Amino acid sequence: MAMSSSITAVSRLVHLTPSISNPKPFLSPKPLFTLFSLKSSSYSPILSSSSLNSSSSSSSSAAAANSSITMSYDKQLVAAKKAASLAARLCQNVQKGLLQSDVHSKSDKSPVTVADYGSQVLVSFVLQKELPDQAFSLVAEEDSGDLRKEESQETLQRITKLVNDTIANDGSYKVSPLSEGDVLTIIDSGMSEGGPNGQHWVLDPIDGTKGFLRGDQYAIALGLLDEGKVVLGVLACPNLPLESIASANQTALNKASAGCLFSAQLSCGTYMESLDGSPPVKVHVSNTENPEEASFFESYEAAHSSHSLSGSIAKKLGVKAPPVRIDSQAKYGALSRGDGAIYLRFPNKGYREKIWDHAAGYIVVAEAGGVATDAAGEPLDFSKGRYLDLDTGIIVTNRKLMPALLKAVQDSLKEEVLPSL
């Protein structure tokens, strides 16, 4: 337990070396600051210099230099799109043949699938292969604790096979197959705590797990923090059609086979393309100023967000259209292209939002001209570690509607108390 706690407290880095003839599985030739090695794994988790004391002179100098220029994240964005797209391919294959045995429960009782773990492995793998010269820190949802249990060996074997098959079928990386030990180590490379210093990837390998299990909406959500700010984001939404879902009924939406990839980079706008690689098109949030013409998104599961509170807010605002209820950060993507004008999220009192549930979606909407705040109108702060400390809930809309929406939210919160966990 002490070793686990110490590992969690630092950024975790796994170096992958460039491909060579007769490649060996990803050995870092001269690992520095080695924390430990796993006999069953060819990976060496090491501590990156960016994870060391932020008061060091080199880190301070780098931070000062970064703050004085406009950074370009083009290489990171290309890598992120590749990573999310490959993970989406694995998830699509699993969802097609979903078996009950693919699902088990974590200690918090939320369902986890082999696709959830496999997605995290692929994203981490691709980012490190595509950006071999950059320090790697990943804040991700899953860890390998449950998979290391004896009863999970069959699940681990299936994850390993799915990952290796996906890498082989893609053909971009000439590498030896990953072992089960490699897979466990890669999963645990997502144990960074994030924070205000350096760069940290933020991943939800399957956002909307329940939607995934139902065959509905889900997203692979990947963002990048730089000095605590979200600077790029990618949302791979395999079941979201390229066409607007503003008027689609739930049955038609669930049967949609096309998939969308949203990508955004700081000061560069938001773009949408198909997961099959259609030319990207720039998107923008709805420009509506009239609440009566606005529609709003909310979580499909009532346990994830108070439907009654959202209804009260919509009534005060004058919204006439019924809510569109879909799972995951696919809502952020749909909002970024104007399918709706408002997204409301009000979980039970005491629930702490995780940064991976919003980082990618946040910048996708922001770069499309939208704005996201908490219920007090304060901006979302992703610099405080793995959790968002915010007031009550999250509201997202365009800048024209935000003043009226914020008033309706605050008036409704005075009348309705959210249930506690």
Catalytic residue among 102, 113, 116, 339: 116
The token pair that represents 91 in the structure block:
């998830």
Q: With beta carbons less than 8 A apart as the criterion, state whether 219 and 207 touch.
A: yes
Question: What separation in angstroms does the CA of 88 have from each of 123, 219, 317?
Answer: 10, 8, 37
DSSP codes of every residue in 253-276:
HHT----EEEEEETTTEEEEEETT
Burial tier of 218 (Cβ tally within 10 Å: 0-12, 13-18, 19+): buried
> CB 199: neighbour CB atoms within 10 A?
20
141 is in an annotated binding site: yes
Q: Cα(first)–Cα(last) distance of the chain, in Å?
A: 27
- State yes or no: is 411 an active-site residue: no
143 is in an annotated binding site: no
- State yes or no: is 116 an active-site residue: yes
> CB 128: neighbour CB atoms within 10 A?
23
Catalytic residue among 113, 160, 166, 209: 209
Q: How far apart, in whole angstroms, are the C-alpha atoms of residue 336 and residue 306? A: 23
Q: How far apart, in whole angstroms, are the C-alpha atoms of residue 127 and residue 105? A: 28
**How big is the chain by its Cα radius of gyration, in Å?**
21
Of the candidates 208, 142, 194, 207, the one whose C-alpha atom is nearest the C-alpha of residue 360 is: 207
* CA 271, 336, 250, 89 torsion-angle sign: positive
207 is in an annotated binding site: yes
182 is in an annotated binding site: no
- Residue that has been written with the tokens 């390993």 in this structure: 160
Q: How far apart, in whole angstroms, are the C-alpha atoms of residue 171 and residue 86? A: 11
142 is in an annotated binding site: no
Binding positions for Mg(2+): 141, 204, 206-207, 357
Residues belonging to the active site: 116, 209
Binding positions: 141, 204, 206-207, 357
